[in-house]
Each structure stands twice: as structure tokens, then as C-alpha cells.
Structure 1
């Protein structure tokens, strides 16, 4: 299967809200974020940031003082020096790590005032979602996945299913863990192949929604040795051409060569058909927020060997007739008397 650029489904997240003096920030794993802290402007500012009891960053005497900084924050913190006289002691934290999450204390002292602010940092890992289709021994199965999830998704991630956009009973989600990251899976049997099936993933931690749809289209047939184009159309919701990924594959086999996919209408061209080309073909159209899987069945008819034999026989007969006519014409010319001089 052609690599889906995935395909991941990403949201640049920087949420702030203040409740009773407590500020909460959600930053994205491995990227940068800013922990806000404001204070009444004054002279001789002394700024100290701590993560629990860990020294994160200090500033006094008009410069950074990092001799007591915890090694885990080395080269990863910065203040906005030009903003400090204006009452801004916010801390920029680079390359977020999972253990950066938690409560931060910002203390600012000036000649005239003291300020204490608390910021809770939540780390969001960039997840990606996908749907897979299986057809084995007459059992058709859809699998919906959420990968690279953090923190544990038990209480904030939900997978639901629909049949022709009508809710159906959802199977229990299974959660697995690989290191600090989690994966979530939900399966759905296809009981009516003429229906469309929808998988919806709600991630309340990131305020994300992802939707996938599976459907079948009419079957196609062609004869051995011929060429055929298998169409694939995308739903309007999955038509973000800037981030559109097209993948074709024959179910239970390897992916189809990219050169066979028409990049304008997403159709797949198969040439010189053989019996091995019989089967289901899956077109996967994906964007960060949507996936659409369309399945078509291709039946390759055997070429009629009797007709082939007759065509060969008639061709040979025609060739023999042409040769005989040529010989007779030559002999006739040989028998004609030469003109007298």
C-alpha cells in the first residue's frame, strides 16, 4: 500500500484559559510553547520559574541566571527580555517533553510588588487515525485505529460507528500501550455490503474530530488482454486537494504502482488484463480530518479460445489465398509470348 502521508491528522494546539487565577496551557509534544506570566511593571525585577521544586529559569540583575537551572531544561528556556519592563515574564519552553507536563510557578519580585502565578502545562502528542478493510472467508471487517495517543485515552477518546449515517451499536474499544504512547482500536462487521459505514473518532483532549467512510460501488468486467480504468470519486468533505492522499490497492495484495493512478480524477488504469487481476480494488482518499474508502469488484472474463482459433485459421487461409494468387499471376506472366521484334 502506498504510504499514506498517515497521512497524519494534526492540530496546532495552544489553548489558554484562566480560571480563579490558574492558567492552563496545552502544548504539542516536541514543539515550543509559551507559559504566560504578567506582573505590575516595576524596577529591579527578579523572576523565578519552577516546575514543582525544580528550578527552570531565573532572571535578576538584568540578566538570566542559570547556574541553578535543572539540566533537563538546559538550552530549552527563554524569557522575552524586551518585554520584561512592560510586565511580561512569560517563559518560552522549547522542544516539549512528556515529563514537562505539570504545574509551573512564576514568581516576580520588584521594588514595589510581588507576584505569584501558576500555570498548568498539558502535553498533547500528535495522533493519527486510519481505517482498514479486510475481506477473508466471506467475512468483511472494518477496523478503526487511533495511533500515537498520549495521555491514556480511556476518558477522552471515543470511537462510534454508523450504517448509512445512522448510529449503530459500537463494539468495545481496545487500548494497547507501546512505551508512553497508546493505540486505540474498534472493529465493525459489515453485515450489509450495499450500505455505507462510517467511523467517527472524537478526541476531546485535542478538540479533534475525524471521520472515515467505507462504501462499495458497482462491479466492473472486462476481457483478458484488454485495458480498463477503475474510477474513484471523493466526497466533498474529503476534497481538500492541498493535503489529499490517494492510495489504490488490490485487497489482500500489494499496492498498485503510482504511475498507474490518474492524478486528475484518481482513476486506476490496468493494462493487459489477466485472470490474476480478478478481485476487489480499494481506493483510499485521505485528508487530515477525513478518510474515504471505496471498493469495486473487477471480473476479468476469459478470452474465448474457439474464437481465437477461428481468427488464426481465417488469417492463415487468407495468407494462403494471397500467396496462391501471387503465384498464379507470376506463372501467367511467364507463359505469355514475348513480343516479336
Structure 2
């Protein structure tokens, strides 16, 4: 009796002591879409037949999975956990009741309870799942900043993931394609990955990265920086992003550009109106008219020079700024050269105006443009092991400068040979398309040489005595030379990004070269003929005087187109480009040279054509006038009085001697 009582008490003590169900020491952190194991185990072996294990949600008592009567019972599972919750069946006999939950969802986050039942005894443990969320926050409002300032675009990451496991990319997304601004990968910033528009202008706050601060600092904001920026964060299978809109307003530099453009355009119009008013007012002296004329030449162009210079500080490229500034700095020289061909100037004014020669603009602009091309070619060939092309390019550039100085100081016609050295300078830097191309290097100067040759032959060949034949030949040679220049430079620079812009600049230099040659061969002779025939023109009939006045008016209109029309065109274009870029964040016209230099070339060519036409008209008028005088002399010789005087002279030698 006593022994049976002791055995029964021992069994009760074992049952009362029960067993301990163990679980994790803390919450389980997992990524959305991944798998997680919910630990649940005991330290002793239990009989499988009387064992029941159930996993449930603590918040809703939803049955996640059930092990009963020696096997798992998926038929009792809640529908949401079918094929996602699994026991390790082979480990249950060893006391491991852990559950694997696959393809984690947002609603899987929470507490789970593992209950183990054996006979009348049971134990449990609670397991908590926390899903790793990637919370990215930024600025709720758009940011506005002026050009030239620095701006910070906020991006903060709230996560338990360490920075070395986080990748961040800043992207501009408002255009046709995404532009990579900056990349953070493998726990370091990769500045070389940035688009060239943002290179050396963007950075992260390195000291703030461990705190989850991936804000972007954008330095020296430009107008094209305007747009929507996205901060994309990747961590394992997680990703999140935040966007911020950047607005860019006018800076003081932009306002200055608008001011000078407005001053140039409005000043040119006001000076033109004042000049027209004073021209038709007889009480105004010629000196006042001349002062207005000179102001019209200098003031608007100087304003445009400052406008393009400030444009280069903010939006324009280096090559665009240098060439356009050089053009507007030298443009008054060209206009003063054209001014001396107007008929309404007094002789004392023409004497000092003729110090302004078109050769000055040609030589200075050539040196500036080919200096920029030489520096650009030297830079792109800096990594070449062969220094031969750079040396030859420097030699030919020296020849270009030398011939510019000789053309300026000795003889203007030497500029014909500039074409030879200009092409030879470009070939070492940008490559020779083919050996046959070298023929063009010699052909182009010969084309220009044909202009003085044609005027020389005109004086010696009877078939060329008609002036219109010479003028037509000059026009044909000019057209062929322009086509040859475009083809040659387009072939050499076809692989360059700014090839079209450079061709416009080089073409304008070629037009100036043609103007110098035509001035030497045609226009200077025209001025001399006008000076010798000034007295005869005063005796012309009313009809011929009206024709001369209409021709003079045509020349003045052409001059005003160059002095006022082109300034208005370029000032309005630059203003519109600045406003549209501030509004849209990108330039409508990639380079102002595509407007500035073609329009200048058209003006110079039209001016040359008008002057050659005036020369031809003067020749025709002079020929008609000489024929009329000859006819009047013949009629005078046939009058009776003249015949009687001849008879008396023949009869009386003393009378004849007295008349002599």
C-alpha cells in the first residue's frame, strides 16, 4: 500500500512539473516576400501519438497550422496560410515544433502563439514577426531656388538596415529619359556615375549617411536643373522612393542679360527713329546726324556684347560665349566700314571713317576663333602618345596668326592664303578624312584668287569689258567658294558635337575674306570713280538723279538692316531663349551661334551684292552721260553759228590766232 502511494505521488509530481516550451528571445525581423522560421521547441522527447501542436494568431485565434495524431493537418488551416505554413515534420519527434512561413505579406506581421499539448499537460510560447519596412521621406513642397545658388534635396531612410546594405540613386525623371544624378552603392558614393551635366556639382552628406540621411546637395544651380528629382532606395528585396520638384528662377545674372538685350533692341530702334527724324529735318546739322549714326553703330552692339558675356556666365557654353562676344565686339568695325559707302556722308566724315577696315574684323576674329579651335584640338588629343599631330597643329596655327598680322599690316590680299593654313590647322587635330582631301586645301585659296584675276583680265580682254560679266563671275566664284568651305569643314568636323555651330562661324570668316578681296578688286575702284566723277554727277538730269537717289536709299535700307535688324533679331532670340529655358528647364536652341553667324553672313553678302550692283549702275549711268555729252557736242558742231565761225577763222588768220 505504501509503495503504490509513493509511485502515484511521483507521477503526479512529474505531471505537475510539466515541460517547458521555448521560443525566440525577441521579435523576428523579416523582409516582405521572404520566408521566416518561427522557433518553438522543448528539451525532452514526447510521445507522438498523444501530441498536439497548434500555431495560432494571438489577435484573432486564426489557426495557422496543426499537428495532431502524429501528422500535420493542413485541412484545418486558415485559407490564407495554405501552402505557406509548414512544419519540419522530421524534427517534431526531437521536440522541434518550429513553423516556416513563406512569402511574407503585410498582414502576416504580428504575434503568433505555439501551444503544445500532451495528455492533460500543455505549454506555449509567443513569437512576434516584424516586417522590415523601407520608409523614405523627403520634402512635401516643391523647392524654388535662383540660378547660381546651392540647394539641398531631402531624402531620409527610416530602416534598421545598415548603410552597407542600402543602395540609393538620385534620378531626374521629368524629361524624355531618366538622368542619373548621383549613385550610392556598396557603402560609398560614385561621383563618376553622374551624368556629365551634374558631374562635380552633386554630393551626399557623408557624415549623415549612418543616420539614414541621403539628402542630395546640388551646387551652382542652372536653369536646366529645373525638374522632378527622385530618390530611389533599394535594400535587399525592398525598394521605396520619394520625389521632390525643383523650381529655378531668374538670378541677378539673368536679369542683367535681359536688361542688356532690352537696351540693345530698344536703343537701336530709338536711335533709328531719331536718325530718320533728323534726316528729314533741314535745321539739324550734319554733325548731329553723324553722331546719331555712330551711336547707332556702337551702342547696341556693345550692349549685346555684355549680354552674351553674362549669358556665358550663366547658361552659355564657353565656345558659344567666346565667339559671339568676339563678333559683337568687332561688329562696329564692320558697320563703320559699310558706313563709308553711304552717299549722304560729308567728305570730312569719310576721311576718318575709312580707318575702320573690314580687314580688322577678319584678322582679329580669325585669330580668336582658331585659337579656340587650337586649344580644343590640343585638349582632345592630350592622351595621344604621338605628339606629332599636336606639333603640326601648333605650327599651322602660328602660320594663321602670322598671315593675319601680315594682312593687317602690309597687304590685305594676303588673306587669300589664310584658307590654306586654316584647313591645315584643323586636319592634325580632328583627322584627315582621306588623302584625296588634301586637294581641297589647295583648291580653296585658288577659288578666291580667281576674283582679282577676273578683274585683271577685264581690263585686258575685250570680251570681259562689260562690267556685268565680271560681277556675274564674282558671284559664281563666291557661291562655289562657300559651298567648298561648307563641304571641307563639315568633312573634317563631322565627328564633333558642335560641328554645325563651328561651320557657321568658319563660314562667316570666309564671307569676311570674300568681302576683303571684293573691296580690293571692285569697291575701292568704285569709290575712286565716284570721287573723280562727282562734278559730272551734279550736272546729271533729273531722271538720273532720281535713279541715284533710289539706289542710295536701297543701300541705306540694307545698312539699317545690319545695324538695327540683326541686333533686334539676336536680342529677341536671346531673351526668348532665356525665358523659355527658365520655364521649361532646357534650352530650345542648343547654341546661339546657329542664329548669330548665319544672319551676319547673309548681311555681308547682301551688302556686297548691293555695292557691286551700285558699281554696275554707276558705270551704266556714266556711259550714258558720256554718250549724251558726245551727242550734244556733235549737234553743237553742226549749228550755223559754229560753221560761220569756222569759215571766218579759216579766212582771217588773225581772228583764228586771237581765238586760240
TM-score interval w.r.t. the shorter chain?
Answer: 0.3 to 0.5
From the CA coordinates, give the structure whose radius of gyration is larger: 2
- TM-score after normalising by structure 1: 0.47
Structure with bigger helix share is: 2
- TM-score after normalising by structure 2: 0.27
Higher relative contact order (CA 8 A, sep 6+): 1
